[in-house]
Amino acid sequence: MEKLLGSNLFDASFLFASLLWGSIGVGYFIFGKKQGAMMPMIGGILMIAASYVISSWLLMSLICIGLIVAVYWLMKRGY
């Protein structure tokens, strides 16, 4: 479990993943705010939070991909 969560915050993979998912989260938040849709805003906030809280690039990427799928699925359902 120690290896999965990792603690090397200066690893290039972690920094790139954090930048990528944080940027996508900001994009989702801005899109949701401009469209008046709550799901993309909430998904964006959760992606930004994940990029700050999770210290493993793999776990962060899996969670953020799951959030993207969840937001897409919920938007298709009309939420």
Give residue 5's pLDDT: 52
Give residue 8's pLDDT: 66
Give residue 25's pLDDT: 97
Asked if pLDDT for residue 4 goes beyond 60, the answer is no
State how far the Cα of 8 lies from the Cα of 56, in Å rounded to an integer.
8
φ/ψ (deg, to 5) at 66: -60, -40
Per-residue pLDDT tens over the stretch 34-68: 999 999 999 999 999 999 999 889 999 999 999 99
- Residue 19, by phi and psi: left (phi above 0), alpha (psi -120 to 50) or beta? alpha
Asked if pLDDT for residue 6 goes beyond 70, the answer is no
